[in-house]
Structures are given as C-alpha cells and as structure tokens.
C-alpha cells in the first residue's frame, strides 16, 4: 500500500518536472521527469 502511494507521488513529481522543463526550455528537468516516471511505473508493477 505504501509502495503504491510512493510510486504515485514519484510519477506526479516526474510529470511536474517535465512541465517545469518545458516551461523553462531546459533539458535536465525533462530527463529527470522521464526518469521519475519510469521509476514510478517500475514501483507500481513490482510485486
């Protein structure tokens, strides 16, 4: 249960990082956001 909550928070943080990266036209936040989303999905699919 807690792992699902953490995964959802990480995914939301990744989406926010992508938003900030696009808004500021910066590449590092985009890459970080994509990484956070991937980590979140891995946490969600992990049993």
What is the reported pTM? 0.86
Long-range CB pairs of 34-42 (<8 Å, 24+ gap) are: 36/10, 36/11, 37/10, 37/11, 39/10, 39/14, 40/7, 40/8, 40/9, 40/10, 40/11, 40/14, 41/7, 41/11
The Cα–Cα gap between 38 and 16 comes to 14
The domain ranges of the chain are 2-45
Per residue in 8-47, pLDDT (tens digit) is 999 999 999 999 999 999 989 999 999 999 999 999 997 6
């Amino acid at each position: 249960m807690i792992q699902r909550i953490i995964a959802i928070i990480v995914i939301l943080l990744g989406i926010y990082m992508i938003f900030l990266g696009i808004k500021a036209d910066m590449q590092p936040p985009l890459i970080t956001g994509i990484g956070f989303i991937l980590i979140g999905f891995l946490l969600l699919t992990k049993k």
